[in-house]
Chain A
Amino acid sequence: MNKTKRIFEQTPETMEIICAGIGGRGVLLASTLLIECAVDADLSAIASDEYGMSQRGGSVVSHVKIGDAKSPVVGRENAHVLLAFEESEFYRNLTFIRRGGLAIINSRNTSIFESVDKVLKKRNIAYFLIDGDKIAKEKGMIQASNMAILGFFSAFSIGPYNHDALRHTIEKKVKESLVLKNIEVFEEGFLKAVSLSKNL
């Protein structure tokens, strides 16, 4: 039996997060919000943005470390949280997640491949699928699926990332013309997680 504590049972001293997705779909905004939110909570934080290819539809991975970390670069099997903004990018970045970690995946599917499910269970990694694209589309802002993922993530209240704090950061940092829509999508993602926990 695996005894690794799960991330939402005990917030680690230094938290490492990977945001993975496709260029131009809000990965960098998400990681920026994560770091701003941590700084607002008086924590030190450092993130590594990827530029250059990010506008060109390539894979984009942003590393975020909160707490006592000097470098933003996350090692293999070290990430406490993987936020995957697209399903293939989830599989591509699986090796980042540490035992006991958490993954949230934007996907229209309701299950993942059995082989992966098996290895995640073995490594005591919790994962959740959420159709962020659908939520964002329903709210009339197809590009904002990243907000649905952040909303869902905020429901776990890990470290500085609770619902109110993240919502506040979005209100503060997202372009004024887009804030309202983004918040709507964020809230919907949050509610999805809440209703899920009620069903459990």
Chain B
Amino acid sequence: MERKKEVMIGNYAIARGLVEAGIDLAAAYPGTPSSEILPGIIEFNKREKGSTYAEWSVNERCALEVAIGAAMIGKKSACMMKQVGLNVAFPPLPSFDELKIRGGLVMVVCDDPGPQSSQTEQDTRLISVLMDIAYFEPSSPDEAADIAYYAMNYSYEHKLPVIIRSTHRVSHARQAVSIFPKGKRIVDLKEGVLNKTNGNLEGSKLGIVSSGMTYSTTLDVLKEMGLDNIIPVFKVTSIMKGKISGDKNKGIIEFVDKVEHVLVLEETDAVLELLIGKNGKVLGRNTGHVPSAGELTYNVIRDILGDVLESLKITKKKFFYDYEIEDATKEIHIVQRPPKLCAGCPHRATFYAMKEAFPEAVFPGDIGCYTLGTSLGAVDTCIDMGGGINIASGFYDAYNQDGALIPIIATIGDSTFFHAGITPLYDAVKKNKRFMLIIMDNGTTAMTGMQPTPQTGITAQGELNKPILIEDMVSSLGIDFLKVVDPYDVPLMINTIKDAYNFLSLEIKKAAPAVIIARRECVLSSRGKEKPKYEEIPLEKTCIGCRTCIDYFGCPAIQFDDDKNQVIIDEGLCTKCGVCLFVCPMI
């Protein structure tokens, strides 16, 4: 049979494998690097004219428990999340041992070594091993499709929940992936030593145990060194029920026993290393041969291998950096490009108003695009989804105890509010915590790629359901101060923030906290929908080079020209929102 191939990212490959395996239900909360799997399932299901039901859940726990319910009835179900989403979905996991499913249950969890787009690194395999849940780990997009297919069928046949653990380098790698008709995929999961060494492991001075994208990168590095056919590399594709002593994984132990030294290369924690044990023989994170945190990039692996091969007196293959390249750019001004809120982002306007109203305030923040408010000095904390509201409560108690009068202005996005903000806010109301909460409502989950929120009523399939308004939810929690403001109206926003502070200081018989909903559609989705507010932004004309807008506003469309000592507007980026006109002291 001729195999059909299509270029796609790893997340779509996972979706493809699940659809081919006949998935009935999929539920997910978006989170980088996992967000594209659910849309992939919807797309492939449409193409195959299937009847898979897919939904965006309000949070990861909802996603997992919905999937559990369907699996109990006998459906093939799956949920998707990022690694820190697993923390939210954690409560049912310890009960998995006694969980009776009649169908299949696959949890797809995408880790973020680095981290590149998360508050922390976290290794999902640790949770899998701790909870005795079998996991599978793909090393490329092509393999990810096979693994997704296999894992769903494995779960269905054995009536056991399983985890697929991906990382961003697999989820977001792009490759030609084999496509099969539904139910017809031929899977040959590869595990063990796959590189063509002479086969005789006895007496091998060094063997490598690796998994996932780290395995793939390790092979590429060995190839560069000319050692890919000399150093045996054991690929670990799955760990069944938290053990490596079982039938499926006993090959690892045999491999480790035969070679003289074992180097374990894995992301991001020492999971395989701990399972293998064998003190003295194993080199890895615990022996300092592998860095204790961060992504194992090509360079990192090349350096590790160079050092290990030399210290074991196998060969001298250390890669020496040509530092003349760095020397050549030392004197050059390279524009720094940290991620910024977009030009025209309503969040920036809100943050500016907050700082203008109460520069001395403390600002508990939350997780989303608006975490970037740190660069505007308007986000002081960022712990986890919904954490900002509870932290604001804690701040209030602490200040109150000490008699300190410090305004507390917390922020949370609309999607995050639905995800994890409602319970903390209700808790704060019950205890009359006197802080201000600004819900930054841009009508979408912008950070992860514009997934709809419950407020829009739009489903994952793009159909319109009943919208649930944030103000209705907030007022039903018993909040007495509630205002909805367009953040582009900077003076009104500043006044509303001051009103909220007065309310919290004076109206002591009414329920706190005070809530402001800063509502304006995300610029990424509103682009082209409405006419710009201003025809022209006269910032360049009035500029005296004071840099106020650069230092306190930081819009990417405003750049400073050192030669001319004035700002220039990047017409390609500027949305003509005119918020900067409130910032410029000359206008």
Determine whether the beta carbon of A75 is less than 8 Å from that of B329: no
Q: Which of B5, B174, B221, B327 has the most CB of A within 10 A?
A: B174
Q: Is the CB of A115 within 8 A of B328?
A: yes
Q: Which residues of chain B from 135 to 192 have any CB-CB distance to chain A below 8 Å in the complex? A: 139-141, 168-169, 172-176
Q: Are B332 and A49 in contact (CB under 8 A)?
A: no
Measured CB to CB, the closest approach of chain B to A170, in angstroms, equals 15
Is A144 interfacial (CB 8 A cutoff)? no
Within 8 Å CB of B326, what residues of A? 95
The smallest C-beta distance from A9 to any residue of chain B, in angstroms, reads 21
Give the residues in chain A near B329, CB-CB below 8 Å.
91, 94, 113, 115-116
Contact (Cβ within 8 A) B174 A59: no
Partner of B176, one of A45, A49, A113, A123: A45
A55 within 8 A of B: yes
Q: Are A49 and B572 interface neighbours, CB within 8 A?
A: no
Does B453 lie at the interface of the complex (its beta carbon under 8 Å from any beta carbon of A)? no
**B472 close to chain A: CB less than 8 A:** no
Whether, in the assembled complex, A83 has its beta carbon less than 8 Å from a beta carbon of chain B, the answer is: no
**A75 and B224 contact, Cβ closer than 8 Å, known pairs A70-B139, A116-B329:** yes
Residues of chain A contacted by B297 (CB below 8 angstroms): 73, 75
- A143 CB to closest chain B CB, in angstroms? 8
In the complex, how many angstroms separate the beta carbon of A63 from the nearest chain B beta carbon? 9
Q: How far is the CB of B171 from chain A (nearest CB, A)?
A: 9
Task: Verify A118–B221 contact, CB threshold 8 A.
Answer: no
Residue A4 lies at the interface, judged by CB distance under 8 Å to chain B: no
Q: Is the CB of A48 within 8 A of B341?
A: no
Contact in complex: A32, B339 (CB < 8 Å): no
Tell me which residues across on chain A come within 8 A of B263, comparing CB atoms: none
Query: How many Å lie between the Cα of A22 and that of B340 in the bound state?
Result: 12
A119 contacts partner chain B, Cβ-Cβ < 8 Å: yes
- Given that A46-B173, A71-B219 are contacting pairs, would A59 and B337 also be in contact in the complex, using a CB cutoff of 8 Å? yes
Nearest-neighbour CB distance to chain B for A94, whole angstroms, equals 5
Across the two chains, which residue of chain A brings its CB closest to B118? A52
Contact residues of A between 101 and 120, Cβ < 8 Å to B = 113, 115-116, 118-119
Q: Among A35, A44, A71, A88, point to the contact of B217 (Cβ < 8 A).
A: A71
Q: Contact at B175–A47, with CB atoms within 8 Å?
A: yes
Contacts of B338 in A (CB 8 A): 58
From A50, A57, A71, residue with most partner B Cβ within 10 Å: A71
CB distance from A166 to the nearest CB of B (A): 15
Output the least CB separation between A132 and chain B (Å). Answer: 14
Are B325 and A95 within 8 A (Cβ)? yes
Chain B stretch 201-216: residues in CB contact (< 8 A) with chain A: 213, 215-216
* Chain A 32-46 interface mask (CB, 8 Å, partner B; 1/0): 100110010000111
Interface size class of B (residues with CB under 8 A): 35 or more
- B339 near A57 with CB under 8 A, answer yes
* Interchain CB contact (< 8 A) of A119 among B116, B328, B334: B328
Residue tally, chain A, CB below 8 Å to B: 48
| A36 to B449 CA separation, bound complex (whole angstroms) | 23
CB distance from A93 to the nearest CB of B (A): 10
Q: Which of B192-237 contact A (CB under 8 A)?
A: 213, 215-217, 219-221, 223-224
B247 within 8 A of A: no
**Which chain B positions have C-beta within 8 A of A49?**
9, 172-174
How many pairs of A and B residues are in contact by the CB < 8 Å rule?
Answer: 149
Q: A88's closest neighbor in chain B, by CB?
A: B335
* CB pair B174 A73 closer than 8 Å: no
A71 adjacent to B216 (CB under 8 Å): yes
B5 touches A39 (CB 8 A): yes
Instruction: Report how far A20 CA is from B80 CA in the complex, Å.
Output: 30
Which of A32, A75, A122 lies in contact with B298, CB distance below 8 A?
A75
Write the chain B residue with the least CB distance to A43. Answer: B176
CB neighbours (8 Å) of A118 from chain B are 328
Asked whether B7 is an interface residue with its Cβ less than 8 Å from the other chain, the reply is: yes
Of B7, B32, B302, the contact of A35 (CB 8 Å cutoff): B7
Interface pair B32/A57, CB less than 8 Å apart: no
The residue that B221 contacts in the complex, of A75, A142, A143, with Cβ under 8 A, is A75
Contact B299–A50 (Cβ < 8 Å): no
Kindly list chain A residues whose C-beta atoms are within 8 Å of the C-beta of B331. Answer: 113, 115
Of B33, B215, B216, B573, the contact of A51 (CB 8 Å cutoff): B33
Q: What residues of chain A lie closer than 8 Å to B573, measured between beta carbons?
A: 57
Q: How far is the CA of A157 from the CA of B430 in the complex (A)?
A: 70
Would B140 and A52 count as touching, CB distance under 8 A? Answer: no
Contacts of A113 in B (CB 8 A): 328-329, 331-332
B residues within 8 A CB of A65? 220
- B322 at the binding interface (Cβ < 8 Å): yes
Neighbouring B residues of A55 by C-beta, 8 Å:
342, 524
Question: A76 near B: Cβ within 8 Å?
Answer: yes
A-B contact pairs, 14 of them (CB 8 A): A23-B339, A35-B7, A46-B175, A48-B174, A51-B32, A52-B116, A58-B340, A71-B169, A73-B213, A75-B221, A76-B321, A78-B298, A116-B328, A118-B328
Assuming A72-B175, A88-B337, what are 16 further A-B pairs, CB within 8 angstroms? A47-B174, A48-B169, A51-B32, A52-B447, A56-B369, A57-B556, A72-B174, A73-B213, A78-B224, A88-B334, A91-B334, A94-B325, A113-B329, A115-B330, A115-B332, A116-B332
List 3 tightest A-B contacts by C-beta distance, closest first: A52-B117, A75-B298, A71-B216
B interface residues with partner A (beta carbon < 8 Å): 5, 7, 9, 32-33, 116-117, 139-141, 168-169, 172-176, 213, 215-217, 219-221, 223-224, 297-299, 302, 319, 321-322, 324-332, 334-335, 337-343, 369, 372, 447, 449, 524, 556, 572-573
A interface with B by C-beta (< 8 Å): 22-23, 31-32, 35-36, 39, 44-53, 55-59, 65, 68-78, 88, 91-92, 94-95, 113, 115-116, 118-119, 122-123, 142-143
